[in-house]
Structure 1
């Protein structure tokens, strides 16, 4: 099942890119993804980073 693996990797990459964007304080409007799955992952990562920043988990 190589397809499943590929799809998961792409979604994980979208998540981590969103996370990095959130850590650096970028707006969620900066999401580069068009597909629903990737966009949801990116936003999930972004949201997690923003939550972490507001609770003091991460500092700049």
Structure 2
């Protein structure tokens, strides 16, 4: 069970990261009030920070 939850959360973060790289808004998060939403937003923030630092164009 824990492995499935961890994988789900990792997948949410990866999808949030991709959304951040693609310039999508935080309003586009498909998760509502869950740990997955927190991970999605964390991935989104990571991507936006990296873009501001000039790592991606």
TM-score (norm 2): 0.95
Higher-Rg structure is: 1
Q: 3-state DSSP class of the match of 2:23?
A: coil
Q: Tell me which stretches of 4 or more aligned residues in structure 1 moved more than 6 Å.
A: none
Deviation larger for 14-23 or 27-36: 27-36
Match of residue 53, structure 1, among 41, 51, 54: 51
TM-score (norm 1): 0.91
- Unaligned runs of 5+ residues in structure 2 are none
- Unaligned runs of 5+ residues in structure 1 are none
